[in-house]
Amino acid sequence: MPQGTLAGLDLGMSLPHADRGGFFPAWDESPANARDLWAAVERICADDPHLSVSSFVDHAEASRHFRRHGGREGEHFGGGRGRFRRTELAQERMGCRPYSNFNLVGAAQVGKSSLTGMRMLHRLSPHLPVWPVDPLPDEGSVVVEIYTTIAAMHAGRPPGRSKMRSYEELNAALKSLGSRAVQASGAVDDHTSDALLTSAWLRTAAHRPELWNPEGLAEVAQTEGWTFGAV
């Protein structure tokens, strides 16, 4: 990674905590903060290959908080759309449609990738700061959580039409951010367009101090973390 890189990971770096005063309030071994949560997922899933998290999802205590496949909803899931972090409530106020990281069902869910990402963050964090669990360094690289819809909105896309499936759509969005067009035309998969547009947006957004200091961040920085760009 080049020195001074802002690396965005499209996942939830933590779980809701502020709403109930804990990640798993019915569990006496509930981790105290995000870094302890990452360590707990890693420890419980140590024998799961490829950073998978089946052991955590099926854990006798943790599973009581998740909505899983087969109609299995833990008694502490909370019903409805589930529990949300403060940053996800901020996303919702912006017009986004976030999903609870305790929801592991459906094409749009991000719960499983977030748990897998926690194993990765546990391994990355001794070497790279992860904002806001770690403070923003004066220099050097830093990892942040991203939500690609936020980048698309800054490029002029409405929340309900954030996915770009043609190079023409992508290039129009890139132009609005001051970035060069991709020399291609026709169809593009939304994973590619999300990655290209969000990278272009991060380059411009990294220097906006208000995005590093959203309202309510200090209270949850060490527990729930935050999504860069959610204000």
3-state secondary structure at position 57: helix
- How much of the chain exceeds pLDDT 90, in percent? 88
Q: What is the pLDDT of residues 38-92, one digit of tens each?
A: 999 999 999 999 999 999 999 999 999 999 988 899 999 988 999 999 999 999 9
Q: Where are the domains of the chain?
A: 6-220
Question: Can you give the pLDDT at residue 1?
Answer: 61
Q: Nearest 5 degrees, angle CA 106-CA 214-CA 65?
A: 35
3-state secondary structure at position 143: strand
Structure tokens at 54: 């089946």
The dihedrals phi and psi of 44, each to the nearest 5 degrees, come to -70, -30
Q: Kindly report the pTM of this predicted structure.
A: 0.94
Q: What is the pLDDT of residues 31-44, one digit of tens each?
A: 999 999 999 999 99
